[in-house]
Amino acid sequence: MTGDLAARWVRTVVPSWLYRWLMPVVWLAAVVASLLPDLGRCSAEDPTVCGPDPLTALVITLLLSSVVLLWWHPLVAAAAGVLFMIGELLYDDIRSTQIAWAVYGVACAALLLRMVTSRRNQRSIAASAPRHHVQVPPAARIGVTSRLLVAGALVLIGAVAVGWMNRQDQREDEHVRRSVEQTAVVKSHTDDGELVLQLPDGRTHTVSPLDDYDDGAQLPVRVDPQDGSWLRLRAEPADNTHWLGVASGVWLLALLFLLRDLRLRRAHPRRAWRGPALPVRIEPDASSAFAVSSADGRVLLGFLDAALDDEESESRLFDAVDALGEEADQAPAKLKREWEETLHRYRGDALLVGDLAEGSWPTIVFGDQILRPLSPFRAPRRLPWRAERVVGLPEDFEPDEDVPATRSVEAAREVPRLPWEVPLRARPQWALPALIAVVVVVPVAVGTFAVWGDWFAAILATGVGAQLVQTFGSRAFYRVMASATDLWIRTGWSERRVPWRSVDAVEIEEDGLSLEAGEDWHVVGGIPEQQLPEVAAVFETLRLRSRTGLPDQTVGRRLSPVLLINAALVAVCVLILVLARWSPF
């Protein structure tokens, strides 16, 4: 596809900010507008006003789907918005609410129409480009995918929700059949907005009403003579239909996962096939997808998450994507060079076989490699002031020139007395005091929040405290010890044991040492720059001395003091929460 044709194709794309940002704002405005008018009061004469309404539970699923799915399935979200508008116009008699959701429904209809038209135009433009048919070999068999497992779990959750709703309804019907009607008086309101009702026999009940009631108001209620704990306001029958809404929501998600899995299997046929191929240019992106551009590389068309047929090559490519992220700054130079060379191999001219449109599942032929889609093709996401760009290797990237060569390491003539604690930069003076402060303050804060009844804040304080212990403890207890047989590196929650027999090379990096052990790399940081050559020489000597012809040993781990402190802190906080819950003081 030429640059001019690709530019025409890009102009047909619906800007993603319309449905990812603008439509949720319109949805929120419609919600606010529908809450402003008086929705009426619960009535003892007509209990259906605040009673169970299965249709409303199903319609609420459409309401939530019309905004939740905008980032994942915008077409489905727009269709749900249109259906909700129809239901709102048919069953709601509040004028302002009808107008608010009519505006949102019309916006959804316009979005749906524009997206369908856009994809049809994209296919038409791509079909007008010169193409030739190519043969695509059969794909490997697809087993049980994570999508199928998630869909199955969601179906089960929905079935459990419906079963629980039916069970609750049966229990409620039994109480209603045995109940008698009485008149209760509103004695007071609790701080949580609950009502304290007094029955004619002097007993009191606390209930959570939907409507507002004044103190002293007389309310018709139903009580069960055989169960003194059961009481219902006649104007507010028990409503368990929200479980039906939960079930319909998770079943809708299960259906979408199932349809996505079926589409994946259609894109991976078990037989060879021929299809029209479009010349494009591809390169790996930091998102783990392949960026697809016009044949001249001038116009970015979109991104396709695809996998290679060769599992070993796919694994290397998947690991190499780390070179485009923040992990690359901490990776050894040799490993980074290997990553970038791998990425560079998958950048160049390719053939896109199949439809080129948003939501399509094309296959890419790159030399003798086949890239099969794992998810639909998507156009670059856009905001009014900028568009998504490719995060990949520089255009003029040259692996041998861009990656600095590692400094050679010579063995030391003398080795310090073993075991030897490797000299490190001075630890931050605040790390240990900060760790002690966290261990002391967090249990006190958790206990205080628990006594106040603020359980969310208490649980949040426990989680934040555990994270702070890990952060401060990693700095306070960081240590590297070398013995004649192993190197011990204490970081975070564990202490790594790297046997010298498994180390293939020691290399000096800009800010530390890297040890190559088979396909793994172990980075030792925190060593003063002027002492890097001396420490590297000692490591090299110990590595060479361990070469006795014995089999390599695997890397081992043991618990670090940081993990023990963290576990003790969490245990104390949990004990405080349990005591506060069951034995308030």
Tens-digit pLDDT profile for residues 68-81: 999 999 999 999 99
How many Å apart are CA 314 and CA 305, to the nearest integer? 12
Q: Is the dihedral of CA 36, 38, 42, 46 positive or negative?
A: negative
Task: In the chain, list all ranges with CATH 2.40.50.140.
Answer: 151-242
Q: Which CATH architecture has domain 151-242?
A: Beta Barrel (2.40)
Q: Which residues contact 163 (CB under 8 A, 6 or more apart)?
A: none
Q: How far is CA 45 from CA 51, 164, 223, in A?
A: 12, 29, 18
pLDDT at 405 > cutoff 70: no
Please give the average per-residue pLDDT across 345-365, as a whole number: 93
Q: With helix as H, strand as E and coil as C, how does 289-319 read?
A: CEEEECCCCCCEEEEECEEECCHHHHHHHHH
Torsion angle of alpha carbons 492, 494, 496, 497, nearest 10°?
A: 150
Helix, strand, or coil (residue 395): coil
Is 250 or 383 the better-scoring residue by pLDDT? 250
**pTM for the structure as a whole:** 0.78
Task: Report whether pLDDT(550) > 80.
Answer: no
Token pair 């960026």 is found at 291
Q: What values do phi and psi take at 452, rounded to 5? A: -70, -15
pLDDT > 60? residue 555? yes
Average pLDDT of the chain, as a whole number: 88
Contacts of 194 (CB under 8 A, 6+ apart): 206, 207, 208, 209
- Comparing 293 with 557, which gets the higher pLDDT? 293
In 3D, which of 355, 378, 394, 366 has the Cα closest to residue 305? Answer: 378
Enter the tokens of residue 212: 């507002």
Mean pLDDT, range 556-566, rounded to an integer = 89
Most confident by average pLDDT, 115-119, 174-178, 341-345, 474-478: 115-119
Q: Which residues, in sequence order, are bridge partners of residue 352?
A: 278, 364
Q: What is the mean pLDDT of residues 15-40?
A: 89
Q: Is the pLDDT of residue 273 over 60?
A: yes
Q: Average pLDDT for residues 480-502, to the nearest whole number?
A: 89
Alpha helices, DSSP H, located in 267-395? 311-320, 333-345
Question: Is residue 352 within 8 Å of residue 278, measured between CB atoms?
Answer: yes
Neighbours of 131 (CB within 10 A): 17
**Could you tell me the pLDDT band of residue 312, with boundaries at 50, 70 and 90?**
confident
Q: Can you tell me the distance from the alpha carbon of 101 to that of 85, in angstroms, rounded to the nearest whole number? A: 6
pLDDT-derived band at 583 (thresholds 50, 70, 90) equals low
Q: How many CA atoms lie within 13 A of 283 on its CB side?
A: 23
> 516 vs 251, 320, 332, 540, 547, CA distance in Å?
49, 17, 9, 12, 15
- What percent of the chain is modeled with pLDDT above 70? 95
The pLDDT of residue 403 is 47
Q: What is the mean pLDDT of residues 166-188?
A: 92
Work out the average pLDDT over 255-267: 95
Highest mean pLDDT among 406-410, 450-454, 510-514, 581-585: 450-454
Classify 268 as helix, strand or coil: coil
Q: What is the mean pLDDT of residues 32-45?
A: 77
pLDDT for the residue numbered 256: 96
- The pLDDT-based confidence of 108 (bands split at 50, 70, 90) is very high
Mapping DSSP onto H, E and C, the string for 55-78 reads HHHHHHHHHHHHHHHHHCCHHHHH
Dihedral angle sign, alpha carbons of residues 287, 292, 293, 295: positive
| Cβ–Cβ < 8 Å for 525, 540 | no
pLDDT of 21 > 90? The answer is yes
Structural tokens at position 410: 């010579």
Per-residue confidence (pLDDT) for residue 512, from 0 to 100: 81
Confidence of residue 408 (pLDDT cuts 50, 70, 90): low
Angle CA 348–352–357, to nearest 5: 125
